[in-house]
Amino acid sequence: MDPLVIAGTSYSSRLLVGTGKYKDFTETRAAVEASGAQIITVAIRRTNIGQNPDEPNLLDALPPSQFTLLPNTAGCYTAKDAVRTLRLARELLDGHSLVKLEVLGDQQTLFPDVVATLEAAEILVKEGFQVMVYTSDDPIVAKRLEEIGCVAIMPLASLIGSGMGILNPWNLQIIIDNARVPVLVDAGVGTVSDAAIAMELGCDGILTNTAIAGARNPVQMASAMRKAVEAGREAYLAGRMAKKIYQASPSSPLEGIITSTSNTIANN
Amino acid sequence: MQLTINGQLQSFDGQMSVQQLIECLSLQDKRIAIECNGEIIPRSKYPEQILGEGDQLEIIVAVGGG
């Protein structure tokens, strides 16, 4: 066993998945199951008043009794809105305090506003929330968020929903090396190799939504993503070979190679 | 009585509790959380909390998101 431990709770899966952008809740459920994820993110939104009282509810498809729900603050552009959203989420989920904080700073790039994120994190930690925080890949900001008391640091690999992959493995490596809480890549994973690369670097986990929901076959991609995260983790633990730049090294023994004693080679 | 619910102005007859409002909106048995004038209303307080003229309510649910 090699569990992911967040705020004292152990999880066997290192893949966290989002629940947005699926065709319907049946597909969401099937993809979540195929991913093996135990922690799944949800968004908090105003309910439709007076419209279709029989409208299916996400929490019926993915009940909190079976999954650890991670309410997010997607779409919040101020610390105040993010804090308010998570207070409502805590009430909705019967006092559940593990949350994903994100405070965005720009509608085009969805880059996090790290100043507002720090501000919100401080308030939420004081109020007893266990904060998993989405941030840029700035190692100093990551450190500050950890010092505030966030239980996991979740730097972007590239822009939310872009699928552009790991753009700056060097910064991620610095964040991983310096962190004493789990580091999860959140945002930017486009396909399984991106997840594997992040895990090989030593990330503790991956959070992805669009890479799965946006695939032609989301359920199959969810299954593939599960394997990639597991494979990347195992490779990290196994410790990769050293890279030897411009230095070939044969895998087969040099002794006993069949060599010709003359320069004559039979025609065949 | 007028209430602003999720940003929309709505009229109701007479005074009512949060619980009565929920029933009026057919939201009973739904997984929701409610904020009134910026304060969270704990579920246990729904029957006793009486709404007042002009109250601003937010009623939220969980939806798919990343």
Instruction: Note the pLDDT tens digit of each residue in A88-99.
Output: 999 999 999 999
Residue A190 assigned to a binding site: no
Q: What is the pLDDT of residues A108-144, one digit of tens each?
A: 999 999 999 999 999 999 999 999 999 999 999 999 9
Question: Would you place residue A264 in the very low, low, confident or very high pLDDT band (cuts 50, 70, 90)?
Answer: low
Q: Chain B: nearest CA to A63, how far in angstroms?
A: 11
Of B8, B26, B33, nearest to A91 by CB-CB distance is B33
Question: Would you place residue A1 in the very low, low, confident or very high pLDDT band (cuts 50, 70, 90)?
Answer: confident
Coil vs helix vs strand at A16? strand
Contact B66 A84 (CB under 8 A): no
* Closest alpha carbon within chain B to A187: B66
Active-site annotation of A, residues: 100
Domain A4-238 homologous superfamily, CATH: Aldolase class I (3.20.20.70)
* Closest alpha carbon within chain B to A43: B65
pLDDT tens by residue, chain B, 66 residues: 999 999 999 999 889 999 999 999 989 888 999 999 999 999 999 999 999 999 999 999 999 999
Query: In this structure, what is the dihedral angle of CA atoms A112, A28, A194, A114, given to the nearest 10 degrees?
Result: 10
Cα–Cα distances in Å, from A151 out to A126, A205, B42, B57?
Answer: 13, 13, 26, 32
| CATH class for the domain made up of B2-61 | alpha beta
* Closest alpha carbon within chain A to B36: A88
Domain assignments of chain B as residue spans, ordered by start:
2-61
Whether the Cβ atoms of residue B64 and residue A28 lie closer than 8 Å to each other: yes
Residue A188 assigned to a binding site: yes
Whole-prediction pTM value?
A: 0.91
Of A28, A46, A160, nearest to B64 by CB-CB distance is A28
Domain assignments of chain A as residue spans, ordered by start:
4-238
Whether the Cβ atoms of residue A97 and residue A68 lie closer than 8 Å to each other: no
Residue A242 assigned to a binding site: no
Q: What is the pLDDT of residues A204-232, one digit of tens each?
A: 999 999 999 999 999 999 999 999 999 99
